[in-house]
Amino acid sequence: MAVATAEHIDAEASEDLIGFTRPELAQIVRGLGEPERTAPMRARQLWHWLYHRGVTDPAMMTSLPQGLRERLAARFRCARPLIVDDQESADGTRKWLLCFGDGREVETVYIPEPDRGAVCISTQVGCSLTCSFCHTGTMPLVRNLHAGEILAQLMVARDALGEWPTPSGARRLSHIVVMGMGEPLLNFEQTARALRIAMDADGLAFARRKITLSTSGVVPKIEACGRELGVGLAISLHAVRDELRDRLVPINRKWNIAALLEACRAYAGRSDRAITFEYVMLDGLNDTDADARELVRLIRGIPAKVNLIPFNPWPGAPYRCSPPERIAAFAAIVSRAGYPAPVRTPRGSDILAACGQLKTASERRRRTGMAA
């Protein structure tokens, strides 16, 4: 379903308020004529309207003086990105194709559960890592998203679920997984800024323990992620031998399995949270009993769980998913060694919203010579 909103404004028209910190908002209102003594208070009020109430029009920010609202409206915007497409899977998973002011697009996915829900957000337009089992990896990297564009994905999901103001109790959107398009640790500063805002108790108020960031192994940034954010860490491992991981996850040629696991041990030593190792099950490649035993050996001593991900096919994919009985045997070996090894249930695969399937519609059209 194609969707257009009147609130979408071209990036050239004004600057987006979403993504600024409180001190930056105070500086903005000072620049709009607010006295020094009241600027911090106005910044707190502005923060409340943006991140707690989800307001997209400065005219609605009624605790601010009318003159300030008018000056904000003339210079800044807090509208959402254009929703180009809104798809819902048979299992309730929802995927939005979002277009930003420069025409670039990303996909964002909401995954509901009976008692909670997670939004899977993107941090880059495209991806530079070229992981061979991942549909997004067949896209070129176009650019990093800035913090406001990362946050906007959460806010679009909140809009769709009607969860404004920020609920104080149970909510349908309770978790964030930074597992969408792109490698978040290659856009660390903007990703970290966005997550710090998302965790602020006076705004979006996502609990730190309900946020998980997934990386393919940008080793130098893993320590910074733990020190500055302290969110859950998921490692896209997918192989237990460097020769195979070099093919599946080419960043392994720069930081190999040994270097990656050393960083994971250090991260776990500073955290009270288990590290999640993500492992896509590829028929005949990485799914033998010997692979499972080697995986257990590699992660020994790390507080961890292993998410086994049945390969989600996409058009032209060069791999097949391991048979269910092979996945079960692999899981049993890992579980017997004391590591939880749940098999992830594919969600949204009928709308190409499952793990490894994200790729913007505009890129699909361009690749097939069908771009408008």
The catalytic residue positions are 107, 355
Q: What are phi and psi of 223, to 5 degrees?
A: -65, -45
CA-to-CA distance for 54 and 203, rounded, in angstroms?
9
For residue 126, the surrounding DSSP H or E stretch is none
Omega prior to 165 cis, within 30 of 0: yes
Q: How far apart are CA 252 and CA 264, in angstroms?
A: 15
C-alpha neighbours within 13 Å on the C-beta side of residue 280? 23
Dist CA 217 CA 254 (whole Å): 9
330 in Cβ contact with 308 (< 8 Å): yes
Judge contact between 330 and 282, C-beta under 8 A: no
- Neighbouring CB atoms inside 10 A of 55's CB total 18
Contacts of 108-114 spanning 24+ positions with Cβ under 8 A: 108/153, 108/156, 108/157, 108/180, 109/180, 109/348, 109/353, 109/358, 110/157, 110/160, 110/161, 110/173, 111/347, 111/348, 112/172
| Contact (CB, 8 A) for 250 and 129 | yes
Residues 279 and 295: beta-carbon distance below 8 Å: yes
- Using CA atoms, how far apart are residues 154 and 169, in angstroms rounded to an integer? 18
- Length in residues, the chain: 372
Q: Are strands 175-178 and 116-120 parallel, antiparallel or unpaired?
A: parallel
* Half-sphere exposure for 246 (CA within 13 Å, toward CB): 6
SS3 content of the chain, % helix, strand, coil (to 5): 40, 20, 45
